[in-house]
Structure 1
Amino acid sequence: MDSSSSPECVHELLTNKRKNGNSSEDSRMGWRRFKKESNTGSSVSTTLKLYEDPWKIKKTLTESDLGILSRLLLAAGSVKRHILPVLDGEDARGVESEEGIQVRVWDVDTKSMHQLLLKRWSSSKSFVLIGKWSQDFVRRRELRKGDEIGFYWDPYSSLFNFCVLKRANRP
């Protein structure tokens, strides 16, 4: 670790600032010096990350997600990146097939469990959640065009977690 970014260096800078008075010029000079010293190859990150966003698959709903086909279209890249790698081989192959696999979906907001079918949609090479999507989610949760929803796959419970992240403006 670069000594200029060590906790001792930060402590020394703050201590010197207190000893020498707290004029705005001293503060600016001390801060500039610290920034310059800390930007010389330091491997210490000062970025504060409060939490990792669990909602790996986010979607703003469209008319086709809410229509009579009773299906939610998911981007192929998101499914390939966040779901397929954590499924066992048989389930991953099932998702890629026309038959698909039954998946449980836990609605985090209402604390209710639902069943949907996850499969690759052959016409677009995307993935869809079908079954009672309209009944269990669209109508029950009063989803509208523009609402943002989120999903993530919980590999420990082998289910999707679902949440309405943001509601579109209502007329």
Structure 2
Amino acid sequence: MQAGTHPRVLGYLGRALSLELSAVQQYMTQASLLSLWGQEEAAERFRLDTAEEMQHAQRLVEHMLLLGVAPAASQLTPVSVAGDLVGLLRRNAELEQRLVDHYGEASRFCALIGDTANGHFFHRLWTEERLHGEQLHDWLHQLLGDQRAFVNQRATF
């Protein structure tokens, strides 16, 4: 372990790895589910999400190795599925919010103890996850708007 790395920072890194690998597992599973439903465009977007979360996990592993600790994801969150795309997006938005909250807390802790290097690392991931969460919310709002328009059209017949 690199001198000066606070044990709690290492805990944040381990938890982040667990969350990122949970996201990989969830998006990969949901992409396959969407393919089974014949929704290939949505499935492809989820595959891209899988790749993005895998890159985050890789960065965490590399960072942990640079700090001299062996990466270990302690507990993966079970995959969350739903009966339609809107339900999947809602569950993914919840998972992204957990990541955003985690990285925000880790960044604040690093600032509190004066660990700028790890603080910047967490902050970059926080920024990326926040953007991803916003993209999921935009997609969800687009779908809900389309569904409301469809329901309103049907109601006028």
Specify the TM-score bucket, using the shorter chain as the normaliser: under 0.3
Normalising by structure 1, what TM-score?
0.21
Q: Which has the higher contact order (CA 8 A, sep 6+)?
A: 2
Normalising by structure 2, what TM-score?
0.22
Indicate the structure (1 or 2) with the bigger Cα radius of gyration.
1
Which structure shows the bigger proportion of residues in strand conformation? 1
Which structure shows the bigger proportion of residues in helix conformation? 2
